[in-house]
Structure 1
Amino acid sequence: MAIQRVDAAICTAGFVAFLNLYPPQALLPELEAAFGTASGGTTITVSAGTLAVALVAPFAGILADTFGRRRVIVASMCGLAIATLLCGSATTLTQMLVWRFVCGLFVPGISTGALGVLAEDQDRTRALRVAGLYIAGTVLGGFMGRFLTGLVAHWFGWRHSFHALGLVSLCLVPLVMAGVPKPAAATRSGTLATLRAAATHLDHAELRTTFAMGFLLLFTQVATFTYVSLLLARPPYNFNSATIGFVFASYLAGVVVTPHTGRLVARHGRRRVATLAALLGVAGACCTLWPTVTAIALGLSIGCASIFMLQSLATGYVAEAARHTKSAASGLYTTAYYLGGSAGALFPKVLWNSGGWPACVALIASMYLLLAWLARRLWPAPTQAPD
């Protein structure tokens, strides 16, 4: 029963972190109208949160190692919920950016703390399984954050969508408090000592590769869903916020595939599974070029399955490969991951303005191919599966 509570808490922590991180993606047309910006001008509301995550993530690992992961996770969940509630009070784009940035400041405490709990598990098979559950929680949270936001915004206005997300997050805090184990003792090694120890992770070639993969993963995901939202809000689709929210049901493909990733790795090896997942992502991106809603939804679902399989592999590998200051290693991965998210929201804007969705797809497909190359060339060769 205690193990089940821990599993539920880790999954819920991932759910809450992603529930509050990407809701603006379903609101871009409404925010453009509310704040009077040009097409694509509100994509910065997505990157503001992810940039804050990237900046704070290494220090979140230090805090988790110093004060205890449970305490940091719970405090971060409360802060994130309050900041999300305050997003609904923004009257200018600048105010919205401030509160979105504040939201991002609290996310690393949740994600890095949860990954640190996972890293302490000495059973590799169980660690892979729980990593899959954590990613499944982030997938479900990412979907609900966009879906609930779009639905509430359509019926009650975009401000109330942030209020709904904040209240849901607060209600889930007790579940995480009950499940995350209390540490026997906090590790108080000092900030400078922990930073020096964490820096040694950058000397680990395979960890560096995994950090690079994390950057590319969120770059690809954020670029896909940010600009496909703008595509679907335009003719001939003319989707409203509620309908765009339904499109994010493609996220649920990740809930289906990620719990099985550990078994696939045990049978075929991490490199082979990662390569196949990346090539699957290329196919999904190309599928969205067909100008029908069905083809776009199918392509997004395939892409989500690919991204979250790769994410499960990467997070599990960080937990396995880091030999010390595991929360700090998770923090470095989180920094790379969310720097990719910030870049994915902003940089494709040039391609969007010049070449539209096809230009964005070309970029997204190239990122998948780069992920496949990294998996084939830089990750260790798969071990032979037992007969």
Structure 2
Amino acid sequence: MNASPAPQRPTSKGNAQRSADAAPYLERGSRAYWRASLALLFAGYATFSLLYCVQPLLPEFTKAFGVSPAVSALAVSVSTAALAVAIFIAGFVSESWSRHRLMTLSLLASSVLTVIAALLPDWHALLIVRALEGFALGGVPAVAMAYLAEEVHPEGLGLAMGLYVGGTAIGGMAGRVISGVLADLFSWRIAIGGIGLLGLLATLAFRALLPPSRCFEPRRGVGFAHHRRSLAGHLRHGGLPFLFLIGFVLMGSFVTLYNYVGYRLLGAPFQLNQTQIGAIFTVYLTGVVASPWSGKMADAFGRGRVLIASLVLMMLGIALTLSNSLTVIIVGIACLTFGFFAGHSVASGWVGRLAAQAKGQAAALYLLAYYIGSSLIGSYGGHFWTAFGWPGVAGLIGVLLLLGLAGALWLNRRERVAAA
């Protein structure tokens, strides 16, 4: 790690308002920087693999429990809904709790609950445990974003955030592919249990690698009035609410695609099995490239431009999935996946830069909108599938992306005016 001044305990009056010059940042290229980036890559992997390992198993739940596609999708939606609530709470708690401890406990609890979910015989019991798992995971995403925004030097933040989001891409891909293969070879229970055990291993790696916070001082005795003022400040900000909207759009579109494309590919004319569908989900690996690349591009050319390009690419991707050619559909899924991870990497990093204070709370608001999009749109998309088939699902996603593009154009204009 590059030499830098020793951290100074903030006074009660200043309370962590240190200047950038005095802050012992993790400098890009230093050993501590890469340890933090790798640790949060493991955290991102665990979060997404645990959260979405059931997504390719939705048709299996339909058969095993006799539920409709929309009801089966609740296995994903109850987790993301609980996660949204937990993230909002974590945004407040994180101001007075150890970042390291909160993230470690969250990952440990959610991994154990995933193993328990694999053993449950009843559909409603499974949904309850999935909701508890989502709630347990709430201590990771917002706190991870806040940790990076506080600890990493601004010049390296785009890449570090991109690596974290890249970890979520690896987790999302591994969770879907591994669970799909294990379900085909053994059963959906073995699939979920295996993902839970891998989550425990990732938790151990995260705990061993993450450097302690040096730029964060827990704030004791912070009352409701402080949180209310911070919350109001974020919502009145000229740019943050548009980033919250974009988070809603990005995740709502992304999860809806992956929730229901399996139903389409299992049926005529494709007739694929779970292993083949799981293999298609390796397009998640495009997110491993998209996330750090988009972070670097945003640092170099502006966040607004990269965000606009990401949303346009997602629109192209969903249009391609309307084809009856399996190859074209896979290309479309890849385009939407690449655009999603690029857009999320830019938007999540931008939140930390725009929030002048209470960065954990600002990150929590972004992720609250993000996972509400996953829960609401991801579940409601099942009704579009039942009523209109894949064109209905694609149309729903297209309308969402147009809304997000309007928000990105506004943010780009605001960024250009600020830079002038």
Question: Is residue 149–residue 157 contact of structure 2 (8 Å, CA) maintained in 1?
Answer: yes
1:192 aligns with 2:260: no
- Give the SS at the match of 1:65: coil
Equivalent position SS for 1:205: coil
1:24-35 correspondence to structure 2 within 5 Å: 24-35=54-65
Provide the rounded CA distance (Å) in 2 between the counterparts of 1:360 and 1:162.
27
Q: Once superposed, which parts of structure 1, at least 4 consecutive aligned residues long, lie more than 3 Å away?
A: 382-386
- The separation in 2 between residues aligned to 1:198 and 1:157, in whole angstroms, is 48
Give the letter aligned to residue 33 of structure 1. Answer: K
- Choose the corresponding residue for 1:92, options 115, 118, 122: 122
Contact (CA 8 Å) 1:54, 1:338: kept in 2 or not? yes
Moved more, 149-158 or 256-265: 256-265
CA contact (8 A) 2:147 2:213 kept: no
CA offsets 1:318-364 (integer angstroms, 9 cap, x no match): 11011111111111111111000001221122221111001111111
Q: Deviations over 1:114-169 (max 9, x none)?
A: 11111103622211111100110011111111111111111110001111111111
How far did residue 63 of structure 1 move? Answer: 2.2
Which residue does the alignment assign to 1:13? Answer: 43
Amino acid paired to 2:334? S
* Pick aligned residue for 2:416 from 372, 376, 382: 382
**Higher mean Cα deviation, 354-363 or 262-271?**
262-271
Tell me which moved more, 231-240 or 330-339: 231-240
Partner of 1:213: 246
Q: How many residues align?
A: 386
Corresponding position of 1:117: 147
SS at match of 1:20: helix
Identify the range of structure 1 (270-279 vs 139-148) with the bigger mean alpha-carbon deviation: 270-279
**Shift in Å, 1:384:** 10
Aligned to 2:276: 243
Q: Give the whole-Å Cα distance in 2 for the aligned partners of 1:11 and 1:376.
A: 30
- Which aligned pairs between 1:97-246 and structure 2 lie closer than 5 A? 97-121=127-151, 123-183=153-213, 185-190=217-222, 192-199=224-231, 200-246=233-279
Q: Is 1:275 paired with 2:275? A: no
Q: Is the 8 A contact 1:139 1:254 kept in 2?
A: yes
Q: Is the 8 A contact 2:317 2:333 kept in 1?
A: yes
Report SS of the residue matched to 2:71: coil
1:240 CA displacement: 2.1
Is the 1:278–1:368 Cα contact (8 Å) retained in structure 2?
yes
CA contact (8 A) 1:267 1:385 kept: no
Greater helix fraction, Structure 1 or Structure 2: 1
Amino acid at match of 1:37: V
One-letter amino acid of the counterpart of residue 141, structure 1: G
RMSD: 1.8
Quote the Cα distance in structure 2 between the aligned partners of 1:80 and 1:191: 29
Aligned residues: percent identity?
Answer: 31
Aligned residue runs from structure 1 range 269-348, under 5 A: 269-348=302-381
Residue 48, structure 1, aligned to residue 82, structure 2: no
Q: Give the TM-score, by structure 1 length.
A: 0.95
Which residue does 2:8 correspond to in 1? none
Deviates further, 233-242 or 176-185: 176-185
Higher deviation after alignment, 127-136 or 236-245: 236-245
Contact 1:150 1:241 in 2 (8 A): yes
Contact 1:5 1:178 in 2 (8 A): no
* Conservation of the 8 A alpha-carbon contact between 2:70 and 2:383: no
Q: Residues of 1 paired with 2:391 and 2:318: CA distance? A: 10
TM-score (norm 2): 0.88
Taking the aligned partners of 1:191 and 1:307, their CA distance within structure 2 comes to: 37
Distance 1:60-1:134 versus aligned 2 partners, 3 A rule: same
Distance 1:116 1:194, change over 3 A: farther
Please say which of residues 375-384 and 28-37 is displaced more in the overlay.
375-384
Distance in structure 1 (CA, Å) of the matches to 2:69 and 2:102: 38
- CA spacing shift, 1:285–1:175, aligned 2, 3 Å: same
Q: Which runs of 5+ in 1 are unaligned?
A: none
Which digits, 9 at most, give the CA deviation of each residue in 1:156-199, with x for residues without a partner? 10001111111111112222112223235422243524532431
Structure 2: stretches of 5+ with no match in the other structure: 1-30
Q: Indicate if the aligned counterparts of 1:285 and 1:300 stay in contact, CA closer than 8 A.
A: yes
Q: 1:155 to 1:330 in 2, by over 3 A?
A: same
Deviation of 1:292 after TM superposition, in Å, equals 1.9
CA distance in 2, matches of 1:293, 1:383: 44
Write the distance in 2 (CA, Å) between the matches of 1:332 and 1:114: 14
Q: Answer whether contact 2:70 2:381 (CA < 8 A) is retained.
A: no
Q: Rg bigger for which structure?
A: 2
Most deviating of 334-343 and 36-45: 36-45
Counterpart CA distance in 1 for 2:385 and 2:172 is: 23
The separation in 2 between residues aligned to 1:137 and 1:356, in whole angstroms, is 32
